[in-house]
Amino acid sequence: MRLDGKVAVITGAGSGIGAATALAMAREGARVVVADLNETSAKGVVEQIEKAGSRALAVRADVTKAADNQMVVEKAVATWGGLDIFLANAGVPQFPTPIEGQDETVFDRIFAVNVKGVWLGAKYALAVMKKQKRGVFLVTASTAAIRPRPGGQTYAASKGAVVTLTKSLALECAPYGVRVVAIAPVATETPMLATFMGKTEVDAEGMARYIATVPLGRLNKPEDLAQAAVFLASDEAAMITGACLEVDGGRCI
Ligand SMILES: NC(=O)c1ccc[n+]([C@@H]2O[C@H](COP(=O)([O-])OP(=O)(O)OC[C@H]3O[C@@H](n4cnc5c(N)ncnc54)[C@H](O)[C@@H]3O)[C@@H](O)[C@H]2O)c1
């Protein structure tokens, strides 16, 4: 198993990419703290992991709160004796809107979750990892950071910020043997997909329009990102730090 004995925290792990990654990391031998604002969905993911014979812990946590980030890190260390992997994955989408029609509260919410949430996760997780002199901090960014779509300016800017944060933290943490890596998914089949498409529900028109922009001819499944995260968290990726891995079927070319 590629993550045997490792301890992971994943935020936003009650749904979509985070849930698929929690399941995949558990299958590879990791013990996982499944953290989400939605405690019911976090518990559901833990049930699935336990049914498959692995160990996990559901925690209600709001990544915009410093105390909650500190608490999830402390839970991992207190329960399993360390922290090898932190995937800062919780995020919120944006409905495509021209800048002049964009409400300031949307900016505040998107930056609170997508940027401050990652920054706070890094503050607490990397303190532990630097002391241990081991660990991998992963960030779910987006292809919006590299190749934005029109009308998604606020979300794109938030993801651009965390890609730069990743690079800066990678340099800061390299002397400690700690790696920091971002993952940039193209549109992925999760509950937030409809919002990116400017719809209340995903429909044939939205799918066709998005698929037409992906050279490999399909969107991501959550499992595509889970496999990338398992690889980046494993010792197979020992020389990868500061990178932003596009999992995008060629969208950013
Ligand atoms: N789905 C896509 O097309 C896509 C594309 C690129 C990047 N992403 C990014 O992937 C990440 C995961 O999104 P997803 O597609 O799996 O969406 P999702 O909606 O399925 O899951 C997001 C999870 O984050 C949780 N969450 C939201 N705010 C939170 C907070 N403040 N604290 C803790 N948890 C919170 C939600 O409860 C939910 O369980 C996000 O960062 C998103 O921006 C998604």
Does the beta carbon of 19 lie inside 6 Å of ligand 1? Answer: no
Average of per-residue pLDDT values in the chain: 98
Domains along the chain with CATH numbers: 7-189+222-246 (3.40.50.720)
CA dihedral 15, 231, 124, 186 (to 10 degrees): -50
Please give the helix or strand (H or E) that residue 138 lies within, else none: strand 135-140
| Residue from 34, 39, 45, 92 to probe ligand 1 pocket by mutation (most atoms less than 8 Å from CB) | 92
pLDDT category at 153 given cuts 50, 70, 90 is very high
Confidence (pLDDT) at 100: 98
φ/ψ of residue 151, rounded to 5: 90, -5
Question: Cα(141) to centroid of ligand 1, in Å?
Answer: 10
Query: What residues are paired with 184 via a beta bridge?
Result: 246
Report how far apart, in Å, the C-alpha atoms of 79 and of each of 8, 83, 96, 121, 202 are. 11, 10, 42, 18, 40
Q: Which ranges of the chain does DSSP label H, i.e. alpha helix?
A: 16-27, 39-51, 66-80, 104-111, 117-132, 153-173, 193-196, 204-211, 222-233
Does the beta carbon of 248 lie inside 6 Å of ligand 1? Answer: no
* From 124, 155, 176, 210, the catalytic residue: 155
Confidence (pLDDT) at 231: 98
Query: Could you report the per-residue pLDDT of 72-128, keeping only the tens digit for each?
Result: 999 999 999 999 999 999 999 999 999 999 999 999 999 999 999 999 999 999 999
pLDDT category at 45 given cuts 50, 70, 90 is very high
Question: Cα(12) to centroid of ligand 1, in Å?
Answer: 6
Token duo for residue 21 = 């990654």
Confidence (pLDDT) at 212: 98
Mean per-residue pLDDT, 232-238: 98
Confidence (pLDDT) at 18: 99
Confidence (pLDDT) at 155: 98
155 catalytically annotated: yes
Confidence (pLDDT) at 51: 97
pTM metric for this prediction = 0.99
